[in-house]
Amino acid sequence: MNPIFLASLLLLPLSGAAQNNAPVPPPGGAMHRGQTVTVQVKQFGDLENKLIAATAAKDAEAVSQLLADNYVLRVGANLGDPTNRAEAIQQAMASASIASRVENLAVLDEDHMAVVSFIWNLDVPSGDPHAKKIFVVDTWKQIGGSWKIVARYASAVDRVDALVPG
């Protein structure tokens, strides 16, 4: 997988629901009538929405406010070559948006840190060599009273039914 492609996907719209400020689906899939969203899922869904809106508007300053100074993107296929904050922002600002959606969003909130994970489905054309499904883990940290992403880990999902040790 091309790490530059994934870096350019850093801040693309994650879902139609997120773009329309609709409720973020809870962990485990789509929202059902009467089902509530956890406070953490709502909070971090809103933060992701801010990131999405800033990227769509090509507002590098607003994006910068949501990324920690030491932000890094690591792609599973190329862990030894991380993408730093400046590169990620530059690539995100230069990239066209790709329609996509999030499934199985989950949040683990521990005081001043939160880990947000999800499956990211990208609507890339048939025959396109890029991943259509990516597992993403964003690590958010409270810095100076604001939540910022310190790290994004992303890896193409080739077979969701493959066994994982442990």
At 21-61, the pLDDT tens digits run 344 444 444 443 444 578 889 888 788 778 877 877 899 99
Q: Is 162 exposed, middle or buried (0-12, 13-18, 19+ CB in 10 A)?
A: exposed
pLDDT of residue 28: 41
* Sheet with strand 133-143: strands edge to edge: 83-84, 67-75, 146-156, 133-143, 113-122, 100-110
pLDDT of residue 36: 58
> Which residue, chain included where needed, has tokens 């001043």?
112
| Residue 19 predicted with pLDDT over 70 | no
Task: Give residues with Cβ within 8 angstroms of 75, minimum separation 6.
Answer: 1, 3, 6, 7, 81, 83, 154, 155
pLDDT of residue 17: 38
pLDDT of residue 29: 43
Tokens linked to 117:
């994970």
Q: Confirm if 140 and 58 have CB atoms less than 8 A apart.
A: no
Question: pLDDT band for position 4 (50/70/90)?
Answer: very low
Q: Which pLDDT tens digit goes with each residue over 134-160? A: 898 999 999 999 999 999 999 998 665
Q: Which pLDDT tens digit goes with each residue over 54-112? A: 877 899 999 999 999 999 999 988 888 999 999 999 998 998 777 777 778 789 988 89
